[in-house]
Amino acid sequence: MNKPCARILPAPLRLNTVCLYSTMDDAIIPRRHACPPCLMTLMKASNTHSIDRAELSAQQRAACRAALFTVHSPRRLNLQAGTRNYELTQLLKAHNAATAAIVTAYNPAGQKLPATKNKARHMALSAAIKKLKLAALPAERRSDVNSDPSDEAFLVLNISGAQAEALLTEFDQQALLWCNQSGAPELMVHPLMRQRGWRQASAG
């Protein structure tokens, strides 16, 4: 049997001290014992929430467009697709960022997952952002003002369109919030969903 990965686990995942994942044991090592890179290997090997099998109703599409996003910078900055926000422009200028994107790894393809799995996915997203060598601020996504709990997310600074689309695909998300200094935030939807005729939210 292959030796386990043995990377030191981040604090939120420390049910064990090190990653126990082995390529020979992907069917039996629980995901809670895997570090973020190995977790992504597991998710790709047994992805049951793929966008390419997701069929969204008109109500689900409307919910995506109505989602609310909050950035903690450290004050709360509330954003929504199609609504320009002066504070967002100032925030991006302060960080010398021409672009940004709010992305989450929670609930792939819109399928609700247990909190422990979503937390592990969030840690994997954090690792993916660090691999891109991009700075990020904590954020969250809500389906509406009354929804609770929210989905943990990141505002990723100076991300390119190609990098944002890659994160959408890697983490099986229906959409992210694309931001720049000159216009209103808008939805960037998964490429497969664009192929099916999804119309992106207007930049306003």
Residue count of the chain, please give it: 204
Domain that holds residue 19: 11-45
Q: Is residue 4 part of a domain?
A: no
34 and 86 belong to one structural domain: no
Structure tokens at 174: 């229906």
Q: Is residue 50 part of a domain?
A: no
Q: Is residue 133 part of a domain?
A: yes
Higher pLDDT, 34 or 24: 34
110 and 134 belong to one structural domain: yes
Averaged pLDDT score across all residues of the chain = 77
Q: Is residue 179 part of a domain?
A: yes
116 and 78 belong to one structural domain: yes
Cα–Cα nearest to 108, from 57, 169, 55: 169
34 and 64 belong to one structural domain: no
The single-letter code of the amino acid at 34 is A
> Can you state the angle between helices 36-45 and 115-131, rounded to 10 degrees?
110
Q: Say if residue 171's pLDDT is above 70.
A: yes
Task: Tell me how far apart the alpha carbons of residues 54 and 22 are, in angstroms, rounded to a whole number.
Answer: 30
When divided into structural domains, the chain yields a total of 2
Q: Say if residue 119's pLDDT is above 70.
A: yes
pTM over 0.75: no
Neighbours of 144 (CB within 10 A): 9
Q: Is residue 204 part of a domain?
A: no
Q: Is residue 202 part of a domain?
A: no
Question: According to the model, what pLDDT value does residue 7 have?
Answer: 60
Task: Tell me how far apart the alpha carbons of residues 137 and 155 are, in angstroms, rounded to a whole number.
Answer: 5
Q: What is the pLDDT of residues 91-110, one digit of tens each?
A: 999 999 999 999 999 998 88
Question: According to the model, what pLDDT value does residue 148 have?
Answer: 62
Q: What is the pLDDT of residues 153-170, one digit of tens each?
A: 999 999 999 999 999 888
Q: What is the pLDDT of residues 7-16, one digit of tens each?
A: 655 544 344 4
Q: Is residue 200 part of a domain?
A: no
Question: According to the model, what pLDDT value does residue 29 have?
Answer: 42
Q: Say if residue 112's pLDDT is above 50.
A: yes
80 and 155 belong to one structural domain: yes
Neighbours of 109 (CB within 10 A): 18
Q: Is residue 147 part of a domain?
A: yes
Tell me which range, 81-85, 98-102, 142-146, 195-199, is most confidently predicted by mean pLDDT.
98-102
106 and 150 belong to one structural domain: yes
The dihedral sign for the CA sequence 67, 72, 76, 77: negative
24 and 111 belong to one structural domain: no
